[in-house]
Chain A
Amino acid sequence: MPERPLARQFPTALVFALRNQARNRLAWILLAAFVPAWYGLMAALIPHDPLTYRLFSSGRLLRVDGRHLGLVTAGMNSLTLIVGFAVFAAIRRALPLDRRLVFAGYRQSLLVGAKALATAVVAVVVALYATVVLLAFWRPAAAGFAAVFAAFALMALEYGALGLLLGVLVKGDLEGFFLIIMGGLTDTFLQNPVGNPVANKPILQWFPSFGPMQFAGGGAFGGGPSWLGLGLGLAWAAAFAALALVVFQRRTRSRRHAHTSAGEPSSASRLTSAA
């Protein structure tokens, strides 16, 4: 039978990965209801009192509006939950079939690469939505809006990549959901100086949300965007995605000791006892 080039595998996997993500009804409901509700609650509870926020890249201490900072943290928080959960659920649901596809000849790197790109698309689109909804509660200047959007996208990328990793790693749904929810809550809470004595301490640099928060803080409240923050955020996302690739490779590998796949013609392939 004539063969189609290997390059067809990537677009096919990308389309189905996006489709899988889009079919998560609970994620759509959370986007429509939870994001505005969470912003609304923050806007209602947190006063406009000034707060001190440390920009680590320059060492500057910024005086910021507590409510505005609270809203940015709320947006980040909802993104960690929704993107992390949606990506995790889609990856986990598809894993048994992915294993079968790899066995049939799908190249693992193309399959997981397509999933990573789909995750990035979802992260950026959801981040844009969360930034637009934020406008109903706070109207930053254009540069501030752009910085918040970029920071939200960065945060969504990190937790999307974490969802990807947990989706191929953990055994049960509950472990994955628990890790995403607790991780996201703890991470974003620590970065927020509203009622949190740990905020502005150097230890925060070791948490995933540090980069996006610094980028948003610098860009939206004066002091200029933190390129260090951007780099750290991208590094976290890349590290999670790279780990996901390694785990995916291990969990979907064929045990047949051969250079051919089930779909390819081969003269003979051999399985000897396991090493």
Chain B
Amino acid sequence: MKSTIAARGVEKSFGRRPVLRGVDLEVPAGALVAVVGENGAGKSTLLKILAGTLAADAGGVELHGTLGYCPQEPVLNGALTVGQHLRYFAAAYRLSSLDRAEELLDALHFGGYRDRPVEELSGGTRQKLNLTLALVHDPAVLLLDEPYQGFDWETYLRFWELVDGLRERGRSVVVITHLVFEEERFDRLYRLREGRIDA
């Protein structure tokens, strides 16, 4: 099956400390892939390189289609409301409607917070908005860095329903996490250890 995003021989060092020592990874269309590893294994570095927010020292990443990236810490503006964030990102992605955003607000159950500034929201609701902003343009590949931190159980289940819906429509999802509760959910599991992938 054709891959939507693939990394080949990705290397990255910070100063003299090598973090990634030649990582290969491939994500087929419609697949749910996990990259797991202990704290400091280089997971977030790998995801940033996949997302294009960080340059690799060597190797390359190939992307087919659009990309959505959800960083681990919510990147939001406390002064703006949920609705204003959605309008801002609709302009960024050049969308003509917010229909998909409305669907996501419903799916994650936080439509009631539309007019609330982000600084008044709980950590879990911020995380929902953080995720929504990576999804409003319906990307072909979704990169998620520890996406369910701060979610309660019900939201955790809704999150997986959302991911299942994405896969049914042929979208790929890459989840980076230090803990995998349910390995059977994933089509592929990459273990990152000392800067390399263990098959």
Q: Which residues of A contact B (CB under 8 A)?
A: 1-6, 8-9, 12-13, 16, 19-20, 23, 93-94, 96-97, 99-106, 254-256, 258, 262-274
Chain B, 87-110, contact with A by CB distance < 8 Å: what is the 0/1 string?
Answer: 111111111110010000000000
Determine if B75 is an interface residue (Cβ-Cβ < 8 Å): yes
Question: Which residue of chain B has its CB nearest to the CB of A94?
Answer: B77
Judge whether B56 is part of the interface by a CB distance below 8 angstroms. Answer: yes
A271 CB contact (under 8 Å) in B61, B78, B96, B133? B61
Shortest C-beta distance, A76 to chain B (Å), equals 29
Q: Can you list 13 pairs linking A and B with CB atoms under 8 Å apart?
A: A1-B97, A16-B80, A19-B79, A101-B92, A103-B51, A262-B67, A262-B139, A268-B63, A269-B62, A269-B63, A271-B61, A273-B11, A273-B59
Complex Cα spacing A106 to B88, Å:
9
- State A6–B96 Cα separation when bound (angstroms): 11
Instruction: Give how many B residues have a beta carbon under 8 Å from the other chain's beta carbons.
Output: 45
- Chain A residue contacts of B185, Cβ below 8 A: none
Instruction: Determine if A105 and B55 form an interchain contact, defined as CB atoms under 8 angstroms apart.
Output: no
Given contacts A264-B66, A271-B60, contact A6 B94 (CB under 8 A): yes
- The answer to whether the Cβ of B26 comes within 8 Å of any Cβ in the partner chain is no
Among all A-B residue pairs, the 5 with the closest Cβ atoms:
A256-B52, A263-B93, A274-B55, A104-B92, A255-B55
Q: Whose C-beta in chain B lies nearest to the C-beta of A23?
A: B79
Cα–Cα, bound, A238→B22 (Å): 46
Among B69, B80, B88, B95, which residue has its beta carbon within 8 angstroms of that of A262?
A: B69
Task: Determine if A12 and B66 form an interchain contact, defined as CB atoms under 8 angstroms apart.
Answer: no
CB distance from B102 to the nearest CB of A (A): 13
Instruction: Judge whether B133 and A100 touch: CB under 8 Å.
Output: yes
Judge whether B76 is part of the interface by a CB distance below 8 angstroms.
Answer: yes
Q: Is the CB of B91 within 8 A of A4?
A: yes
Do A274 and B92 touch across chains, with their CB atoms under 8 A apart?
no
* B162 adjacent to chain A (CB < 8 Å): no
Closest B residue by C-beta to A270: B62
Docked Cα-Cα span, A263 to B133, in Å, equals: 11
Knowing A12-B87, A97-B76, A274-B56 are in contact, say whether A105-B62 is a contact too (CB < 8 A). Answer: no
Residues of A within 8 A of B96 (CB): 1-4
Asked whether B15 is an interface residue with its Cβ less than 8 Å from the other chain, the reply is no
Q: Are A20 and B88 in contact (CB under 8 A)?
A: no
Chain B: minimal CB distance from A268 (Å): 5
Apart from A5-B94, A263-B93, A274-B57: 12 A-B pairs, beta carbons within 8 A = A1-B96, A4-B90, A4-B91, A9-B91, A19-B80, A20-B80, A97-B75, A97-B77, A103-B69, A262-B67, A264-B66, A273-B56
Q: A3-B95, A100-B75, A103-B52 are known contacts. Are A263 and B66 too (CB-CB below 8 A)?
A: yes
Determine whether B157 belongs to the interface, using a CB cutoff of 8 Å to chain A: no
A8/B91 contact (C-beta < 8 A), A1-B96, A16-B84, A256-B63 known: yes
A106 to B93, CA, bound (A): 7
Q: Which residue of A lies closest to B119 (CB)?
A: A23
Say yes or no: A270 contacts B88, CB within 8 Å.
no
Rounded to whole Å, the gap between the CB of B85 and the closest CB of chain A is 8
Q: C-beta contact mask, B124-160 vs A, less than 8 Å → 1, else 0?
A: 0000000001000111000000000000000000000
Separation of A103 and B69 alpha carbons in the complex (Å):
9
The verdict on B179 contacting chain A, using a C-beta distance below 8 Å, is: no
B142 to chain A, nearest CB (A): 11
B65 vs chain A, min Cβ distance (A)? 7
A101 and B91 alpha carbons, distance in the complex (Å): 9
